[in-house]
Amino acid sequence: GEESGNFLNLVELKNDCDNDSLLIQVNPAGPTCHKGTGNCWGEENTPNYGFFSTLETIIAERVANKDTAKSYVASLFSKGINKVAQKVGEEAVETVIEAMDNNDALFLYESADLLFHYLMLLQAKGFTLKDIEAELKGRHK
C-alpha cells in the first residue's frame, strides 16, 4: 500500500493444526491488486455470509428448477410475490409471539423460519444479502 494507498487491514491471523500454513483474514481498504482490481486472479470478489449464502444459492436453484411438486420454495414462488411477502409477515408475527414466551427453542425455530422466508422475499424482489449489507453500511456513521 505504500504506492497505491490501498491497505489490507488485518482481522485475524491463525496457524493451521500442524503449523505449516497461515490463514490471514483481512478487510481490504481499496483494490487489492496493483492493477486496481479487487484481486489478482481476475475473479469477482463475492461476499460470503456463511450458510446464509448457501441458502441464497439453494433458493435460486429451486426457483430456477420450478419443480413445484418437490420443492416448497418453487411452490411458494409459483404463487407470486404477494404470497411470499404474506409468508414473511406470518413468520414475523410467530417470531414476535415466541419472543414473549420463555421457550427459547420455539423462538429460534420461528426466527429461522422468518430469516428463510425473508431470503426468499429478497430474491423475489431481485435483491440479495449483499444489497442489505450495502444499505446498512450506508447508514453506519
Walk me through the domains of the chain, giving residue ranges and CATH numbers.
Answer: 1-45 (no CATH), 51-140 (1.10.287.1080)
Query: What is the b/e burial string over 50-89, where b = at least 16 CB atoms within 10 angstroms of the residue's CB?
Result: eeeeebbeebeebbeeeeeeebebbebbeeeeeebbebbe
Q: How far apart are CA 56 and CA 96, in angstroms?
A: 24
What letter does residue 65 receive in the DSSP assignment?
H
When pLDDT is averaged across residues 22-28 and rounded to a whole number, the result is: 85
For the entire predicted model, the pTM comes to 0.75
Task: Read off the pLDDT band of 7 (50, 70, 90).
Answer: confident
CA atoms lying within 13 Å on the CB side of residue 3:
5
Q: What is the mean pLDDT of the chain?
A: 92
Task: Read off the pLDDT band of 95 (50, 70, 90).
Answer: very high
Which pLDDT value is given to residue 42?
A: 83
Contact of 84 with 117, CB cutoff 8 Å: yes
Q: List pLDDT tens digits, range 45-86.
A: 778 899 999 999 999 999 999 999 999 999 999 999 999 999
Which pLDDT value is given to residue 32?
A: 80
In one letter, which amino acid is 58? Answer: I
Grid coordinates of 67? 419443480
When pLDDT is averaged across residues 87-98 and rounded to a whole number, the result is: 98
